[in-house]
Structure 1
Amino acid sequence: RTVLCLPREEEHVSSLKIRKTNVVNVTVMSPAGCPHVNGFKVDNWKQNLRVIYQCFVWSGSAETRKRKAKSCVCHMCGAHLNRLHSCLYCVFFGCFTKKHIHEHAKNKRHNLAIDLLYGGIYCFVCQDYIYDKDMEQIAKEEQRKAWKLQGKFFPLFNPPVFPSDFYSVGEKYSSWEPTKRELELLRHNPKRRKMTTNCTIGLRGLINLGNTCFMNCIVQALTHTPLLRDFFLSDRHKCEMQSNSCLVCEMSQLFQEFYSGHRSPHIPFRLLHLVWTHARHLAGYEQQDAHEFLIAALDVLHRHCKDDNGKKANNPNNCNCIIDQIFTGGLQSDVTCQVCHGVSTTIDPFWDISLDLPGSSTPFWPLSPGGDGSTLNGESHLSGATTLTDCLRRFTRPEHLGSGAKIKCSGCHSYQESTKQLTMKKLPIVACFHLKRFEHSAKLRRKIITYVSFPLELDMTPFMASSKENRMNGQYQQSVDVFNDNKYSLFAVVNHQGTLESGHYTTFIRQHMDQWFKCDDAIITKASNKDVLDSEG
């Protein structure tokens, strides 16, 4: 019943830092670093930074370690701990936990500080640790020098009693950097290539706790959402709830379980308990609706993590939490007066798009399989089958509201008949399409089994508000960049087998670009592209 899609351009983003975003595109920290570093790079900045690393961070010799122990105290409270940071512009040490370094940075307008435990550079404007290629090179060089100095005191054949005495404060092991010869061996090793392409980390079954397949299938889809995975595995959630009732904390633990490498099925009993606690209408062991669970889960996650990011919101929902950054889009509604042709426009946030199907009691717009919509996204038409594009065309078609739904026109200043048209003002990073297969009406309760063809790649450009405006202005051609921004690639499909009264949910998830798996509670099996595209959806 639910199809989730991820933009083709964003699916390979592996950075653990999600920077300022709009609803469509994600901007990640580039290798060039943040722009505020340039204010520090003047005069003898490299030598000054080396001195800080030598004396106050890595401390290779016994003398520098003693000096660090004596001098590295907070200049406000005198504490040695509390994540001590040093200002890069002046001689000031301050606690990060108690925000003494933050007060100094605000008062002096000194934007950069260095973590004296791990050596990371923090920008108070970006509100995060940053990456700069030049600074990183200096940090590595000074760290290696410190390790060599410590190696003179503790030879490998006579190690110290306490290993921590041998290593510098911070990282204990240097990262492995392969030589050219080692790179050649890795490149030509077929066994290594096989391990890379057939990696199954993140694949894990979920035990059915009693008609909980509706929850398991959505959890599988969420845990394979790349940007959501990066957020939780980078420990970005800052929990402020007093009790153990935070759903975001449980999701974070769930991601840890999924990507731990364990192969045995996971038992999501804590997640089920929290769902029952925060979504009372889903409590109990009765069969529930997967789409209803998805919306309820996103709502609770949104409420529990909306304080994680203090930055100004830039999406239609006025929230910058990770849920709204990924799933929230903007739906534009244009109501046009039939007399003066004045247009009233409103934009509402949405987490998913619910699409009517042929065979329902609502009138369905007849679409020809040979029309433009059938070839737009490369969807197959088996015996004139309805496509996802057809459903989207119906969703965004102008609708005459009729005489029974007159509105007061701001131009005519009287109640007039009008037409209404929905278009996409802003696309979400992850688009969720809900096919309305469960029909509830006064006379009818049934499941609609109409086959809907959906593609591996979907272009949403024709359904954008900008495309409508271009057509009205006679300028349908758009640039290649805008066209590509609206393209999505499929990564999860939720299916329901059975009737309205009883049935079972399963999920197809994409592990890699061309590897699909079917998740049936605790059982995970390999699937093909054909298995996915032929499924009911």
Structure 2
Amino acid sequence: MPQYTVKVKWGKELFPNVEVNTDEEPMLFKAQLFALTGVQPERQKVMLKGMTLKDEDWGNIKLKDEEDMPAEPIEKPIFVEDMNEAEIATALDLPAGLTNLGNTCYLNATVQCLKTVPPLREALKNFPGGFASVGGISLPSLGPAQCITASLRNLYEAMDKGASLRPIVLVQMMHLAFPRFAEKSEHGGFQQQDANECWTELVRMLQQKLPAEANPNAGENAPKPSSIIEQYFGGTFDTELKCVETEDEEPTKGKEDFLQLSCFISNDLKYMHSGLKNKLQEQLTKMSSTLGRDAVYTKTSKISRLPAYLTIQFVRFFYKENRATNAKILKDVKFPMEFDAYDLCTPELQAKLLPMREKFKALEDKKVEEAQRMRDKKEKGQNEPEENMKTESFCFPEDLGSNNSGYYRLQAVLTHRGRSSNSGHYVAWVRQKGNSWIKCDDETVSVVSNEEILKLSGGGEWHCAYVLLYGPKILEVPIETEEGSKAE
């Protein structure tokens, strides 16, 4: 097998010991270069002794070990009138879009939503692993979690440089790790997949490879998460299981961890909050050791640990046997831009949330008073000096990655348009700054309003919210001097 070890020069960087197998298509080698440089394969210009490497074959290029192969992106001047929508988005400082590689919108939307979480982005930047073949190790043998984490890191780094990208390597790694995502239709193209399944599997891969942040304030009894995912996305339920058919059986108490909450949609459900509350008390049947038979139990759950980033799935799909498909519930279920999880929590957690909640309330009261004072000053022709503000931590000191107020702010929505989970189209809607939102429809990125986000609640053929991502509501307070007055 013609396999060589070459050195790749890219700008001022040198990548030694890059393995090349000339039995394979050059695109696989270019995918390795993408992993190393962040330059998309179609934008690469790989040269050796004056010859340019093609995409489909190696041509007359002859290799030998330790050959130097300069690689650089092709950069051509482009004018606004010649730009497509994705290039215009880059010029306007909009986020990079992702090309649909054939029913891969479910993955594109997931990637765009998760990109809004700063601690996750930081953990990926610090992830040292790679998947370029080293020492004869092929890509898949490094393990799916390693390959997926490294490819997502490289993809985000490339997206930060702007322009629409083709997520070739991440799609390949997901297909290798989860063959069902690589299933093809009778027409030969990739089948549509469920975006929430993709979200769950991608997060599970990251959970295995991204360690938790160290917390110097953690005490002996503080939570000890093993990964950044558990730290910032993971919550805990306190549960109680009580038999309703006898008083002689003591309730069973326990704890359950979660990475997302489920909102089940009934005929009379109108609001997301009600759907979440309904799920916290449910009935089930199990064997009773006291009665010696199956009996009805009530399971009550309360949240004892709120994560900083709360994922909520609307359970919109159910299996229809007569059609052998996951049919969709189109019902309109309203969701808020700001969400309060206080009444979903245990009494103990509620007590811990109160100090920060009181700070939020005091700030709101202060804003009302200041608004009135500013109106009075404007009438007198006076100007109010701008205040210097600081942000307070959204975590409990001993529990990094938690939410210490119960208040959340919507930061991403993943929607589905269509009638079943294995058809239709997925789109990500992400908050950019303040109340500015961006619609990420594969490679097409555009600005949308708050009102358009609220229209995603369902009720028709338009996009329906499927997965919501809430981040912590940040408290900003004026910086005060030592004497207690505001800083000028």
Q: Give the shorter-chain TM-score range.
A: 0.5 to 0.7
Check whether the contact 1:317–1:324 (CA below 8 A) recurs between aligned residues. no
Q: 2:274 aligns with which of 390, 395, 406?
A: 390
Match of 1:279 in 2: 178
The CA distance in 2 between the partners of 1:493 and 1:432, in whole Å, is: 10
Equivalent position of 1:74 in the other structure: none
Greater strand share, 1 or 2?
2
| Identical aligned residues as a percent | 25
Partner of 1:227: 119
Displacement of 1:408 in angstroms is: 3.0
Using the TM superposition, give the Cα deviation of residue 466 of structure 1 relative to its aligned residue in structure 2, in angstroms.
2.5
Query: C-alpha separation between the residues in 1 aligned to 2:252 and 2:334?
Result: 34
* 1:302 matched residue in structure 2: 207
Structure 1 residue 416, shift from structure 2 partner: 5.7
In the alignment, structure 1 residue 407 sits paired with structure 2 residue 288: yes
Q: Aligned partner of 1:324: which letter? A: E
Alpha-carbon distance between aligned partners in 2 of 1:407 and 1:200, rounded to the nearest angstrom? 64
Q: Number of residue pairs matched?
A: 301
SS at match of 1:453: coil
Give the match for residue 486 of structure 1: 406
Provide the rounded CA distance (Å) in 1 between the counterparts of 2:94 and 2:122.
12
Deviations 1:112-163 (A, max 9, x none): xxxxxxxxxxxxxxxxxxxxxxxxxxxxxxxxxxxxxxxxxxxxxxxxxxxx
Alignment of 1:463 onto 2:344: yes
Partners of 1:477 and 1:255 in 2: CA distance: 36
- For the 8 Å contact 1:313–1:320, the answer to whether it is kept is no
Amino acid corresponding to residue 227 of structure 1 in structure 2 = P
Match for 2:333 among 452, 456, 467? 452
Alpha carbons 2:130, 2:150 under 8 Å: kept: no
Greater gyration radius: 1
Question: Take 2:219 and 2:92, find their aligned partners in 1: how far apart are those partners?
Answer: 36
Partner in structure 2 of residue 357 of structure 1: 265
Q: Name stretches of at least 5 consecutive residues in structure 1 with no aligned partner.
A: 1-197, 360-365, 368-385, 471-475
Q: How does 1:128-277 map to 2 (within 5 A)?
A: 203-232=95-124, 235-239=125-129, 244=139, 246-260=147-161, 262=162, 264-277=163-176
Paired residue for 1:523, among 417, 431, 444?
A: 444
CA shift at 1:477, angstroms? 11
Give secondary structure in 1 for the equivalent of 2:278: helix
Choose the corresponding residue for 2:228, options 322, 325, 328: 322
* Letter of the structure 2 residue corresponding to residue 287 of structure 1: Q
Work out the CA distance in 2 between the residues paired with 1:343 and 1:358: 28
1:511 matches 2:432: yes
- 1:201 offset after TM fit, Å? 5.1
Report which structure shows greater RCO (CA 8 Å, sep ≥6): 1
Moved more, 486-495 or 306-315: 306-315
Q: CA RMSD in A?
A: 3.4
Query: By how many angstroms is 1:301 displaced?
Result: 1.4
Aligned mate of 1:290, from 195, 198, 208: 195
Matched, 1:421 2:306: no
The answer on 1:343 being equivalent to 2:251 is: yes
Report the Cα offset of residue 486 of structure 1. Answer: 0.8
Q: Gapped runs of 5+ residues in structure 2?
A: 1-89, 132-136, 184-189, 359-403, 457-463, 466-488
TM-score (norm 1): 0.51
Question: Hey, what's the Cα distance between the residues in 1 that align with 2:220 and 2:97?
Answer: 36
Aligned to 1:68: none
- TM-score, normalising length: structure 2: 0.55
| Rounded Cα–Cα distance in structure 2 between residues aligned with 1:460 and 1:265 | 37
Determine helix, strand or coil for the equivalent of 1:301: helix
